[in-house]
């Protein structure tokens, strides 16, 4: 007997990240039935779901969604709209799959926890897919990060008090358009710490344990740096969207490197050098696979990342 396809909707289908979500839905055997974007240049739908209904008016999309219930609503909208669109999904009986950062403030997580609980009580199904909120934390699924986590856990068994001394550089060049878009608007994106750094700080907590604190050393709209402390790591970090920071490297567009101070490694092994500049192509598909199997990153998994970016951003604004 052929399995019934899960029904998806998507908001923000005209955006940069939406094609990865469309591909993830397609490769996991889902069916996209409805899409929304205020812009109408959405030819990417033809690549995966040419028969999906398309709307430029949110009220019309919501009306369609209520008449044609969804299992999941994928959210690829600007960061400041995430909470409202997750709420929309839950209020209409659908699980939300939302891009990073899930929300801009931890208080919004508390609101969503209550809404999720209410939505699950109203749902009469007994499947794995009662309405829930899932976030995309794809670095946790990156093969090099998973290998690093396993290595760190093994080393900490033998030396549980060890503190790794690390340097993290994340440089992803952006053009002049960035600062004129919503991404360059602090109120809409959360700024560089939130929009660029959320995955990185989540990854560090995932591998090295609970966040303890941060010392901010520099902050401007396109570049920030500091020292973050975790249960088992001290990390000197740099986030940048400046092309000049790539000028003396062999990287053209993006550099993502985590390096260990060789003087502080826990044994005779070589110092850690993790280059995760590549390998992102399939991580949204893997994220959706986990969600469909009931193993996605739920609200509780998002808390530490949101707490970290909120804490560092407050330092930047103070």
Give 290-310 pLDDT, tens digit per residue: 999 989 999 999 999 999 999
| Cα–Cα distance for residue pair 310/129, rounded to 1 Å | 30
Task: Write down the pLDDT at residue 3.
Answer: 67
The mean pLDDT of 47-52, rounded to a whole number, is 97
| Cα–Cα distance for residue pair 286/315, rounded to 1 Å | 34
| Cα–Cα distance for residue pair 131/92, rounded to 1 Å | 9
Task: Write down the pLDDT at residue 128.
Answer: 56
Give 154-207 pLDDT, tens digit per residue: 999 999 999 999 999 999 989 999 999 999 999 999 999 999 999 999 999 999
**12 φ/ψ sector (left φ>0, alpha ψ -120 to 50, else beta):** left
Tokens of 151: 């290595």
Task: Write down the pLDDT at residue 74.
Answer: 98
**210 φ/ψ sector (left φ>0, alpha ψ -120 to 50, else beta):** beta
Task: Write down the pLDDT at residue 162.
Answer: 94
pLDDT band at 4 (very low <50, low <70, confident <90, very high): confident
| Cα–Cα distance for residue pair 313/191, rounded to 1 Å | 8
| Cα–Cα distance for residue pair 82/183, rounded to 1 Å | 14
Residue 124 has pLDDT above 70, yes or no: no
| Percent share of the chain, pLDDT over 90 | 84
Rounded to the nearest integer, the mean pLDDT of the chain is 93
Give 192-224 pLDDT, tens digit per residue: 999 999 999 999 999 999 999 999 999 999 999
Residue 238 has pLDDT above 50, yes or no: yes
Residue 239 has pLDDT above 60, yes or no: yes
pLDDT band at 269 (very low <50, low <70, confident <90, very high): confident
Task: Write down the pLDDT at residue 1.
Answer: 47
Task: Write down the pLDDT at residue 267.
Answer: 73
pLDDT band at 250 (very low <50, low <70, confident <90, very high): low
- DSSP for the chain reads -PPPPPEEEEE-TTSSSHHHHHHHHHHTT-EEEEEE-SS---TTHHHH-TTSEEES-HHHHHHHHHHS--SEEEE-S-GGGHHHHHHHHHHTT-EEEEPSSS-SSHHHHHHHHHHHHHHHHH----STTSS-EEE--GGGG-HHHHHHHHHHHHHHHH-TT--EEEEEEEEE---THHHHSGGG-HHHH-HHHHHTTHHHHHHHHHHH-SEEEEEEEEEETTEEEEEEEETTEEEEEEEE--GGGGTTSS-SSEEEEEEE-GGG-SSSSPPPEEE-SS--TTHHHHHHHHHHTT-SB-HHHHHHHHHHHHHHHHHHH-
pTM, two decimal places = 0.93
The mean pLDDT of 222-235, rounded to a whole number, is 97
Greatest alpha-carbon pair distance for the chain in Å reads 63
pLDDT band at 244 (very low <50, low <70, confident <90, very high): confident
Q: Please report where in the chains the tokens 């709420």 appear, as a residue.
A: 87
Cβ atoms of 271 and 259 within 8 Å: the answer is yes
């Amino acid at each position: 007997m052929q399995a019934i396809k899960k029904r998806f909707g998507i908001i923000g289908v005209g955006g940069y990240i939406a094609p990865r979500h469309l591909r993830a839905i397609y490769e996991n055997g889902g069916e996209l039935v409805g899409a929304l974007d205020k812009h109408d240049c959405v030819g990417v739908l033809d690549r995966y779901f040419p028969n999906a209904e398309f709307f430029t008016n949110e009220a019309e999309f919501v009306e369609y969604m209520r008449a044609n219930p969804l299992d999941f609503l994928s959210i690829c909208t600007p960061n400041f709209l995430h909470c409202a669109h997750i709420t929309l999904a839950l209020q209409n009986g659908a699980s939300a799959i939302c891009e990073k950062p899930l929300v801009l403030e931890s208080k919004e997580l508390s609101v969503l926890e209550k809404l999720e609980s209410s939505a699950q009580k109203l749902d009469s199904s007994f499947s794995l897919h009662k309405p829930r909120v899932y976030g995309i934390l794809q670095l946790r699924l990156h093969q090099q990060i998973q290998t690093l986590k396993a290595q760190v856990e093994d080393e900490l068994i033998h030396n549980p008090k060890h503190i790794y001394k690390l340097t993290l550089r994340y440089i992803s060049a952006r053009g002049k358009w960035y600062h004129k878009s919503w991404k360059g608007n602090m109120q809409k994106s959360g700024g560089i710490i939130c929009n660029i750094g959320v995955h990185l700080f989540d990854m560090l907590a995932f591998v090295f344990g609970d966040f303890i604190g941060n010392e901010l050393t520099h902050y401007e709209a396109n570049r920030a740096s500091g020292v973050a402390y975790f249960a088992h790591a001290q990390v000197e970090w740099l986030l940048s969207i400046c092309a000049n920071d790539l000028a003396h490297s062999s990287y053209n567009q993006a550099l993502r490197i985590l390096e260990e101070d060789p003087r502080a490694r826990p044994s005779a092994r070589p110092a850690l050098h993790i280059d995760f500049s590549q390998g992102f192509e399939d991580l949204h598909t893997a994220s959706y696979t986990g969600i469909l199997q009931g193993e996605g990153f739920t609200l509780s998994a998002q808390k530490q990342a949101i707490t970290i970016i909120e804490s560092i951003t407050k330092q930047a604004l103070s």
